[in-house]
Structure 1
Amino acid sequence: MPHAELYDDIGVGYAIGRRTDPRWMAAINDALCDADSVINVGAGTGSYEPAGRTVLAIEPAREMIRQRAADTCLAVRGRAEALPLGNDASDAALAVLTVHHWSDWRRGLAELRRIAARQVVLAYDTRRHADFWFVREYVPEIAELERGRPSATDIADVLGADSVTPVPVPWDHNDGVFPAYWRRPAAYLDDRVRRSCSALAQTDPQAVERGLRRLRADLDSGRWYDRHRALFALDEWDAGFRLIVAGR
């Protein structure tokens, strides 16, 4: 399903679960370096748009644009694969957790290079996501979805990245991205949490429901805590998120 159709369908209430985490925002700001102007491609509801810079958001889904706060930057509809901008339109192009949704991700990355000398992309290692305990133990069907998505290493190779930096997920992460609740398993029983996770929204609902029943039973019995006791000694965890920077 194309990005726009997907998020017009599943994006209702997305802004509630997907909020800015200041620790991730700080890392993105550092990666943008001294860029005065930024094009945020696949901008969604505007969770990671830097302050103090001139920012234009490009987003294909009307539902996502509708949920943008009144104080966010100007947003226009557009697809990553055919950005409605001229060459060298901005100092930097930003793409946060969006490349895996593009219908032609290589073409989209070429567009990022066309519009800006510097590209900053937050992506993830699909193998790490596929091995996340929720996938491995409860909804293994998600692994098939992940195998069909570009991984951070693929994106870095195509961009000719200058740096690839791990971005860990704190245990109290504010942004409800899929693995955000790695130490808070009961959160996955909340329908509002699941609605903001595209991996769950794109997986067979019956498979997800079966997995949730098993998770609920394991939480009630204490089996989940017995298996994952070591996680509670960690303040952050590497879920495979990588900040990729290319260009000057």
Structure 2
Amino acid sequence: MKVFIFDYRKFKKQLLVFGTFFICACVITALLYQQQISPTSAKKYAIYKVKTDQKVAALTFDISWGTEVPGPVLDTLKQHNVKSTFFISGPWALKHPEFPKRIVAEGHEIASHGEEHVNLSDYSKDEVKKNILTAQKKIKEVTGVTPTLIRTPNGDWNDMVLTTAEELNYKVIQWSADSLDWKKPGVQAIVDRVLKKTQPGAIILMHASDTCLQTPEALPLVLEGLKQQGYKLVTVSELLKYGEATID
């Protein structure tokens, strides 16, 4: 007759393994359930263009310094009856108020290019907030306009910068068609690049700072070329009404 001997140590070990397995299964089930009932927070992105089939694009200019280029750029836009969005820095607005005031008077959109021309992602949240609000105060003081769009210096941003800007009621605007006019590649090179890169819903980047002396000569050709391609040029805020903002 076979005698059954109860092994308590073995039983205890099996019970421990089973208990661990059961707890892990419960945790995994709870996490999966929570994921199903909780909306996944999508990664934040700046706005690079708009999804649309219509031939519409926004022509934008960054300005941080100088007085030679802004005037000719505004003259050309006026001659072609084109409204653009100008991303201007706080110090420049305060130092040369005649240009920001003219931008507003001629129906263009005022936006912010921040206070210091630095990579905001290298700074703390409080410093980013201070940068944005300092520029906002100066721009409003000169133009009477509180900007709601910002192009971060050097196009630099991360989640913290984006979140901070949004908390201050700003949309961060980048670009999908870069003229590279700041590299001074030649007038025709600037024109060819813009005409090639512009697609429906594009945000075009040009500069009206004095470091971009080829821009005034290139701009009329850009405007004529885009018109021949059938494009309507609007401000960024107007462009955002045409479709969903996107990164690609």
Q: TM-score, normalised by structure 1?
A: 0.31
Work out which structure has the larger RCO, using CA pairs closer than 8 Å and 6 or more positions apart in sequence: 2
